[in-house]
């Protein structure tokens, strides 16, 4: 049965207004993995703010914006084990966006990244703010509001002296996330360094970074493939001195974006305006720096900027 508890979303220390307590309810999304949802506390005023008044009527009628995130994916969205609260860069940014718009955003967690885009396409969610790459193929099905620079990295156990470069991955297995672009990026590395896109075998999982490391420790894979930002954070926080970069520290630079249902262009534009306001008032940079990701900040909030 669904369960509920009360939580407070993680916030940056100096943001404008502290959030009140918010209800989090465990739910099962139709066609998606089970998850839980948390609603930000900005409530629609009797007289809407200038930004809220620009929202689609369908969202105004239901009184909230529905957002999907995939957890665990630290430092972007994860449950703090010490508090049981949902926290991370995207959670802080989403809460601040809600404040700027003056309208609630309900955050629903799913365990499988592959459920995010279908969730927006189907209308079960209005948006996804969950460390998701802007890609041309994704622009065909959703609009993407870009807010964070990123890249890809290969990492191995520091104790594995047999893997020192991409060429050492030929004929070996790497582990990465299902429903992402990392398998195709791995095939490109395999083609370049091994002469065969399928020489490097790919094991996919939806269980998060901890499972990647587990697969390395079990000998099922010799390296993991993941976002450079996710990996640097996890390695420093949870696996100090246990993981090392294979090859370049960042390859295939790109941007993460907020995915928005193509039937909701007004929501897309409101999110772009809210993030722009956050850049101007300093709260955007403050949130990124809180999580050690200040260098990933963008100068301008763009829409569908990826070209490949």
Give 208's pLDDT tier (boundaries 50, 70, 90).
confident
275-284: average pLDDT: 98
Helix ranges, 123-227 (H): 136-139, 182-194, 209-217
Helix (H) or strand (E) holding 120: helix 116-121
Q: Do domains 4-148+256-298 and 151-253 have the same CATH topology?
A: yes
Q: Where are the beta strands (DSSP E) in 47-113?
A: 65-70, 78-80, 85-87, 105-110
- CATH architecture assigned to 151-253: 3-Layer(aba) Sandwich (3.40)
pLDDT greater than 80 at residue 216: yes
Going from N- to C-terminal start, the domains of the chain cover 4-148+256-298, 151-253
pLDDT in tens, 97-154: 999 999 999 999 999 999 999 999 999 999 999 999 999 999 999 999 999 999 999 9
CATH class entry, domain 4-148+256-298: alpha beta
Q: How far apart are CA 297 and CA 180, in angstroms?
A: 22
Provide the token pair at 214.
Answer: 């587990």
pLDDT in tens, 170-202: 999 999 998 899 999 999 999 999 999 999 999
What is the pLDDT of the chain when averaged over all its residues?
87
Helix (H) or strand (E) holding 26: strand 22-28
Give 206's pLDDT tier (boundaries 50, 70, 90).
confident
Give 164's pLDDT tier (boundaries 50, 70, 90).
very high
Please answer whether residues 228 and 249 qualify as being in contact, where contact means their C-beta atoms are separated by less than 8 angstroms.
Answer: yes
Q: How far apart are CA 195 and CA 262, in angstroms?
A: 39
């Amino acid at each position: 049965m669904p369960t509920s508890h009360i939580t407070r979303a993680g916030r940056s220390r100096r943001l404008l207004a502290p959030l009140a307590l918010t209800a989090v309810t465990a739910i099962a999304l139709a066609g998606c993995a089970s998850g839980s949802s948390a609603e930000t506390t900005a409530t629609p005023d009797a007289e809407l703010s200038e930004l809220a008044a620009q929202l689609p009527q369908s969202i105004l009628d239901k009184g909230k914006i529905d957002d999907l995130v995939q957890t665990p994916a630290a430092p972007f969205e994860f449950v703090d084990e010490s508090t049981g609260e949902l926290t991370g860069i995207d959670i802080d940014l989403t809460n601040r966006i809600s404040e700027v718009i003056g309208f609630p955003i309900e955050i629903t967690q799913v365990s499988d990244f592959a459920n995010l885009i279908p969730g927006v396409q189907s209308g079960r969610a209005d948006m996804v703010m969950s460390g998701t790459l802007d890609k041309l193929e994704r622009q065909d099905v959703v609009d993407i509001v870009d807010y964070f620079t990123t890249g890809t990295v290969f990492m191995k156990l520091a104790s594995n002296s047999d893997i020192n470069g991409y060429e050492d991955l030929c004929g070996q297995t790497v582990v990465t996330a299902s429903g992402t672009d990392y398998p195709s990026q791995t095939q490109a590395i395999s083609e370049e360094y091994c002469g065969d896109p399928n020489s490097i075998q790919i094991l996919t999982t939806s269980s998060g970074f901890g499972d990647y490391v587990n697969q390395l420790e079990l000998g099922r894979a010799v390296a993991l493939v993941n976002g450079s930002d996710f990996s640097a954070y996890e390695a420093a926080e949870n696996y100090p001195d246990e993981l090392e970069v294979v090859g370049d520290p960042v390859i295939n630079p790109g941007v993460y974006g907020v995915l928005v249902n193509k039937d909701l262009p007004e929501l897309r534009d409101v999110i772009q305006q809210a993030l722009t306001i956050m850049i101007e008032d300093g709260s955007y940079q403050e949130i990124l720096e809180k999580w050690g990701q200040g260098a990933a900040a963008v100068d301008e909030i763009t829409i569908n900027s990826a070209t490949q």
